[in-house]
């Protein structure tokens, strides 16, 4: 009788697992998200949010404090590590910018109303970002702290993110107004 109880328990557990796996799930589209909103959620920039921490770590006051309070070898090591963190932050900004550029190409494909002027602006922004990125990377590697340029890079990522959010809103508005079966059509 013990074996039968075990088999019944296993069968019930298996049936419960099977029912749980087969339950209907609500997708993001059913919750009111469009596929473009999902794309922005997946591509949205994340690294630029850490600028305040980078600014603090690279500040002159922080360096002074290290020189005054820490032994020289510890201060040098801390400065090297902070510059390495700043370079990783720059790499994150490049990743954010690249993702946003991909999203811009997707949106341009969805919207035939994208003008050559807007495409030119996006191309110019990309070149500006990459040139400034290279310059900041070199300066950091040489031991300089180009905080203003790091802030400029972060601002470029933020501006592109804002443009993409606006473009997504425009594409959503256009697609909502052009749906077949729309009462206004």
Question: In this predicted structure, what is the pLDDT of residue 2?
Answer: 79
**Per-residue pLDDT reduced to its tens digit, 121-151:** 888 888 999 999 999 999 988 888 888 999 9
Q: What span, in angstroms and rounded, lies between the C-alpha atoms of 158 and 21? A: 41
For residue 137 the two structure tokens come to 């990377």
Q: Round to the nearest angstrom and report the end-to-end CA distance of the chain.
A: 70
For residue 17 the two structure tokens come to 């697992």
**Per-residue pLDDT reduced to its tens digit, 9-32:** 888 887 776 667 666 765 544 555
> Looking at the predicted structure, is the pLDDT value of residue 156 above 70?
yes
For residue 53 the two structure tokens come to 């921490």
Helices (H), the chain: 2-22, 35-43, 51-57, 60-69, 72-110, 116-141, 147-177
DSSP summary character for residue 185 = -
Instruction: Tally Cβ neighbours within 10 Å of residue 31.
Output: 7
């Amino acid at each position: 009788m013990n074996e039968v109880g075990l088999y019944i328990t296993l069968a019930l557990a298996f049936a419960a697992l099977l029912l749980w796996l087969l339950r209907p799930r609500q997708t993001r589209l059913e919750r009111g998200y469009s596929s473009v909103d999902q794309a922005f959620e997946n591509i949205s920039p994340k690294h630029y949010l850490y600028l305040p921490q980078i600014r603090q770590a690279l500040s002159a006051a922080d360096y002074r404090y290290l020189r005054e309070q820490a032994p020289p070898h510890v201060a040098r090591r801390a400065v090297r590590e902070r510059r390495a963190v700043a370079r990783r932050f720059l790499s994150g900004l490049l990743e954010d910018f690249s993702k946003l550029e991909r999203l811009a190409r997707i949106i341009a494909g969805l919207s035939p109303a994208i003008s050559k002027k807007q495409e030119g602006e996006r191309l110019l922004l990309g070149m500006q970002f990459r040139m400034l990125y290279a310059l900041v990377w070199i300066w950091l590697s040489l031991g300089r702290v180009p905080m203003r340029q790091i802030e400029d890079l972060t601002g470029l990522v933020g501006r592109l993110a804002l443009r993409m959010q606006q473009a997504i809103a425009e594409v959503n508005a256009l697609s909502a107004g052009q749906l077949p079966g729309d009462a206004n059509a």
